[in-house]
A and B are shown apart, each in its own frame.
Chain A
């Protein structure tokens, strides 16, 4: 069975500071990994995904993530936080044992950005 662990349920940064949200996964097969963002009262929106190929993945809004197989990690970063980045972030792994890829999510990390 696959699982995802997000370290830190709450992360607080100052505007302009580095954002680092941690995600570790467990998978017996090569994983497909995703980061989604959820704003209040809205659905989840895809930030970026890793399938195959380049291990550094760039997404929307200046976010990027690096797949590290040896560390079973897929941490999300952004060099400079903006107030609009305040939201909840979810890391997810796709079940590659199926043909349709149901997602297993982490618990989520709430990002707060201070002025």
Chain B
């Protein structure tokens, strides 16, 4: 079956532009996570949705970052007024259940480059 998909796969933005990154989780998955992976680093947690509810946004680095999942399926991560330090791969992951031991299925990521 289809896995987690993300679009676009690559995005180049000029500093100050707004960007929107899309995640299509596996159908029926309750949990959806966003992670940020800087070059040469492990992924870092940004935010978590359980269905349409954003239960944890403690990892969002600034108020320029905003995420939504209005119908409990597709999610969008929006970054306003992009800065060079926002350059990273943004990973989306979904899980069928909400729980600490369940596998998260990852998408291929969106590589954002801010010039």
List of 4 A-B pairs having minimum Cβ-Cβ separation, nearest first: A105-B42, A101-B100, A43-B106, A44-B106
Residues of B within 8 A of A41 (CB): 108
Across the interface, do A43 and B91 meet the contact criterion of CB distance under 8 Å?
Answer: yes
A4 and B43 CA atoms in complex are apart in Å by 12
A43 near B3: Cβ-Cβ < 8 Å: yes
Of B12-20, B44-52, B67-75, B80-88, the one with at least 4 CB within 8 A of chain A: B44-52
Cβ contact within 8 Å between B108 and A102: no
Range for the number of chain A residues in contact with chain B: 20 to 34
Interface residues of A, Cβ cutoff 8 Å to B: 4, 9, 32, 34, 36, 41-46, 49, 51, 90, 92, 94-96, 98-108
User: Which of these, A34, A95, A100, A104, contacts B98 with CB under 8 Å?
Assistant: A100
Task: Contact check, B45 vs A104: say whether CB atoms are below 8 A apart.
Answer: yes
Contact B101 A90 (CB under 8 A): no
Q: How far is the CA of A56 from the CA of B29 in the complex (A)?
A: 29
| A104-B45, A107-B42 as given contacts; A42 in contact with B98, CB under 8 Å | no
CB of A100 within 8 A of CB of B100, answer yes
Given the complex, which residues of B lie within 8 Å of A105, measured CB to CB?
35, 42-44
Q: How far is the CA of A96 from the CA of B102 in the complex (A)?
A: 11
Residue contact A32 to B33, C-beta cutoff 8 Å: no
Known: A43-B106, A43-B108, A45-B106. A98 touches B100 (CB 8 A): yes
Sample of 4 more A-B contacts, CB < 8 Å, known A102-B56, A106-B42: A32-B101, A46-B104, A101-B100, A102-B33
Contact with A along B22-46 (1 / 0, CB 8 A): 0000000001010100001111110
